[in-house]
Amino acid sequence: MFEGCVGASDVMQAVYRMTRQVAPSSATVLLTGETGTGKELIARALHELSGRATGPFVRVNCGALSESLLESELFGHVKGAFTSAHENRTGRFEAAHGGTVFLDEVNSVSYKLQVKLLRVLQEQEFERVGDSRTIRVDCRVVAATNRDLLDEIEAGRFREDLYYRLNVLPIDLPPLRERVEDVPLLADYFIGRYSEADGRTPPTMSPEALKLLMEYAWPGNVRELQNYMERAIVLCEGDKLMPELFPRHVRGLAPARLHRQAVKDPGMLCTELVELGMQRASEEATDMHEQIVSLVERELIKQVLHSCRGVQTKAATRLGINRNTLHKKITDYGLE
């Protein structure tokens, strides 16, 4: 187990073993997994366990910058290269010399900039923006993505040659719903962490609250659990964390948030919901809620299955449920 990484499940033990095995190498690592699964923690562990641990660890969020800004951020620029370039600037690759550069959300790099990135990976050299002088660097690249890069290649947004250059040593981080046995360990970890930060005695987790956390699907993964645990610690006035300290949707009192990418025609879906609401306005609220949830769920499953070309394993992953559950719902809703 590494700093900040909590989990004793079989799937996480496999991640730890793979991390230790590949850390001493200088080969490129591609970390895949949903948002909030801890890809940066593994990237840091790879650095700390390598022979480059005394060198810098440089993180770049590729999704937070435009193409021009990202190019300057990665490779640097010389004075006068563009309007606001008032002095020379060292890029992140140059700054990571002797260490590790972590490219988070690498799927966000523009198609044009991917060519320059591919050259760095292959030749370990580049030119600053506005300069013709070639700079050579010695740094290990660890990249991360929360997208399926094969889908991005098929859509024409990601270079196939760059994918194979990045995917030398792949490590996939499982979503929290696939390692629910780690939820109590993570909850205890965050209780200790935030209680210490607030200078208070750590409260205990009530069985009812823990049951809720174990049954929730965690679409935001460990990061979502972390946020809700911090919130519960702040709001807790006694010595025990009770269910009411957690959001309504975690307690099953409100619909869980939907995957935004799955719903392609919200206007049509809203129209159907309004029509259903008008038809059932005179019935009890509980029955109304069940009807609406069923309609939303059926439409969501239908659209995700369509986007996944009927591949149920892939659709189940996007929906945050296991394949057996998806198969049952397909049968129940007549979506065969």
Residues 101-128: pLDDT tens digits?
999 999 999 999 999 999 999 999 998 8
Number of separate domains in the chain: 3
Q: CA-CA distance, 114 to 131, in Å (whole number)?
A: 19
184 and 168 fall within a common domain? no
Last residue of a domain, one of 214, 245, 276: 245
Mean pLDDT of the chain: 87
Residue-level pLDDT at 262: 40
150 and 162 fall within a common domain? yes
Residue bearing tokens 């005695």: 201
CATH of the domain at 163: 3.40.50.300
What pLDDT, in 10s, does the model give residues 217-258? 999 999 999 999 999 999 999 999 999 999 999 988 876 654
- pLDDT band at 259; cut points 50, 70, 90: very low
239 and 150 fall within a common domain? no
> Radius of gyration over alpha carbons of the chain, in Å?
23
Structure tokens at 210: 């823990």
Which range (16-20, 187-191, 306-310) has the least confidence? 306-310
Residue-level pLDDT at 263: 42
Structure tokens at 101: 């550069």
Which range (28-42, 218-232, 266-280, 307-321) has the least confidence? 266-280
20 and 92 fall within a common domain? yes
Q: Is 170 helix (H, G, I), strand (E, B) or coil?
A: strand
Q: Write a three-state SS string for 104-122.
A: ECHHHCCHHHHHHHHHHHH
Q: CA-CA distance, 208 to 245, in Å (whole number)?
A: 11
Q: Is 128 helix (H, G, I), strand (E, B) or coil?
A: coil
Q: CA-CA distance, 292 to 199, in Å (whole number)?
A: 45
92 and 218 fall within a common domain? no
Question: Would the pLDDT of 29 be above 50?
Answer: yes
Q: Is the residue at 52 inside a domain? A: yes
| Owning domain of residue 204 | 177-245
125 and 264 fall within a common domain? no
What pLDDT, in 10s, does the model give residues 8-26? 999 999 999 999 999 999 9
